[in-house]
Amino acid sequence: MNQQAAASQKSRAEQETENEANRLREQVEAALAIVALRSSDEVDSLNMAADRIERAARDLSDALRQLAEQRQSPDEV
């Protein structure tokens, strides 16, 4: 039972990757909400949303690379 529980626990890299993926999803949803407003007053908001999505996507790709490295050499966790 303990072995199964340990196997189901997420590594730090897996947790970070999941967190970054969720953050990117939230940023995309926020951007879609701004798009739905269809207002010319939202230009700054659209630009800020683009910047946030860029940062979140970069953070997610970094987390994915770290996870790939961890899985490539699992002894070095």
pLDDT digits (tens, 9 = 90+) for 2-58: 555 555 799 999 999 999 999 999 999 999 999 999 988 899 999 999 999 999 999
Residue 1 has what pLDDT? 46
pTM of the model: 0.79
Residue 75 has what pLDDT? 67
Give the helix/strand (H/E) hosting 18. helix 12-37
**How far is 30 from 37, CA to CA, in rounded Å?**
11
Residue 6 has what pLDDT? 52
Cα distances (angstroms) measured from residue 43 to each of 5, 14, 40, 53, 60: 49, 36, 6, 15, 26
Residue 21 has what pLDDT? 98
Q: At what angle do helices 43-72 and 12-37 cross, to 10 degrees?
A: 160
